C-alpha cells in the first residue's frame, strides 16, 4: 500500500508550530518512500506542492496553501543543508537524496512522533496544542510537562491579576486561598475551597517545579501525556 503524508507526518495541527528543521526529517522520509515506491515525481518541489497533488490535499484539507508553504520551508532547509541536491542531467526542480540525506534516514529516530495519538488535539486546550504538543511529539517530555504547567501558572496570574513576582506554589496558595483567593469559588464549601488550593499548589509543586530545576529522565510518553492532560484540566478550571 502506498504511504501518504498522513502515514509519515505528525498531525497537521502540530506542524504549524514546528520549525523547518524539525519537519524536514519527515519530509525527507516521505520523499525516500515515494522514490522507493516509484513515485519519483514527488522529488520535484513544484510537483510536490501542486494543488492537484492528492496526498497533499488529503493531508492539508482546507489549509492547503498554508501547509504547502510550511512544507516548502522544510524542503528548502533540506536543500540548504545538503540532504537534497539538483538531479544531474535534469532541468527545473528535480532533486535526488544525497549520501548525507541517506545517512540521516538511517540514523534518524522517528519513534517519539508516533506517540501523537496519546495526546489527541480533540478537546485539548488550544494553547497546549500550540505550545506543548509539538514538544511532546518531538519526545521532549520533561520540557513539555514544564511548559504545560508554566502555562497554568501564567493563566492563574493573568486571570487573578497578580504580579509577575507571584510565582509557583505561593501564587497558587494566594490565588486559591479559601478565604481571600481571587480565584476561590466562594459558592463552594470551605473544605472544597481548601481542596482546590491544595490541588493547584500540589500540581505546580509536583509537575512544574522539578522540571524547571533539572532534567527528568525515564518519563514514558504515556505518563507525559497523562501529566499534560492534568494541566489541561487545570486550565479549564481557571477559565471557569
H/E run at residue 84: strand 84-86
How high is the pLDDT of residue 109?
Answer: 54
Domain co-membership, 231 together with 136: yes
Q: Do the domain assignments include residue 133?
A: yes
Among 9-13, 141-145, 172-176, 235-239, the minimum mean pLDDT is found in 9-13
Domain co-membership, 97 together with 70: yes
State how far the Cα of 46 lies from the Cα of 2, in Å rounded to an integer: 21
Q: Which of 110, 143, 159 is the last residue of a domain?
A: 110
State how far the Cα of 103 lies from the Cα of 94, in Å rounded to an integer: 20
Whether pTM exceeds 0.85: no
pLDDT tens-digit readout, 38-50: 755 668 888 888 8
Q: Flag whether pLDDT at 101 surpasses 60.
A: yes
Domain co-membership, 185 together with 133: yes
How high is the pLDDT of residue 200?
Answer: 95
State how far the Cα of 51 lies from the Cα of 12, in Å rounded to an integer: 17
Domain co-membership, 26 together with 102: yes
Grid coordinates representing 210?
Answer: 522539578
- Dihedral over Cα of 23, 29, 31, 33: its sign: negative
Domain co-membership, 61 together with 145: no
> Which residues span the domain enclosing 87?
5-110
pLDDT tens-digit readout, 39-91: 556 688 888 888 888 888 898 888 999 999 999 999 998 998 888 999 998 88
Q: Pick from 127, 161, 227, 192: which is nearest to 171 by CA?
A: 161
State how far the Cα of 30 lies from the Cα of 22, in Å rounded to an integer: 14
Average pLDDT over residues 231-238: 95
Q: What is the Cβ-side half-sphere exposure of residue 133, based on CA atoms within 13 angstroms?
A: 27
Structural domains in the chain (count): 2
121 three-class SS: coil
Average pLDDT over residues 1-14: 80
Share of the chain above pLDDT 70, in %: 90
Domain co-membership, 53 together with 153: no
Amino acid at each position: 500500500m502506498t504511504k501518504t503524508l498522513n502515514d509519515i507526518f505528525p498531525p497537521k495541527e502540530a506542524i504549524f508550530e514546528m520549525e523547518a528543521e524539525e519537519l524536514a526529517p519527515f519530509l525527507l522520509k516521505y520523499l525516500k518512500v515515494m522514490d522507493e515506491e516509484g513515485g519519483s515525481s514527488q522529488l520535484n518541489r513544484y510537483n510536490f506542492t501542486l494543488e492537484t497533488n492528492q496526498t497533499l490535499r488529503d493531508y492539508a484539507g482546507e489549509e492547503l496553501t498554508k501547509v504547502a508553504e510550511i512544507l516548502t520551508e522544510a524542503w528548502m532547509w533540506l536543500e540548504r543543508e545538503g540532504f537534497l541536491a539538483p538531479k544531474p542531467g535534469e532541468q527545473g526542480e528535480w532533486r535526488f537524496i544525497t549520501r548525507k540525506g541517506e545517512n540521516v534516514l538511517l540514523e534518524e529516530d522517528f519513534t517519539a512522533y508516533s506517540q501523537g495519538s496519546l495526546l489527541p488535539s480533540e478537546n485539548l486546550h488550544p494553547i497546549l496544542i500550540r505550545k506543548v504538543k509539538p514538544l511532546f511529539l518531538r519526545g521532549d517530555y520533561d520540557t513539555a510537562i514544564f511548559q504545560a504547567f508554566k502555562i497554568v501558572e501564567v493563566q492563574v496570574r493573568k486571570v487573578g491579576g497578580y504580579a509577575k513576582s507571584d510565582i509557583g506554589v505561593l501564587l497558587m496558595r494566594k490565588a486559591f486561598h479559601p478565604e481571600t483567593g481571587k480565584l476561590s469559588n466562594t459558592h463552594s464549601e470551605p473544605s472544597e475551597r481548601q481542596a482546590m488550593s491544595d490541588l493547584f499548589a500540589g500540581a505546580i509543586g509536583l509537575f512544574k517545579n522539578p522540571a524547571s530545576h533539572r532534567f527528568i529522565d525515564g518519563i514514558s510518553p504515556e505518563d507525559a501525556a497523562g501529566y499534560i492532560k492534568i494541566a489541561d484540566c487545570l486550565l479549564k478550571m481557571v477559565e471557569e
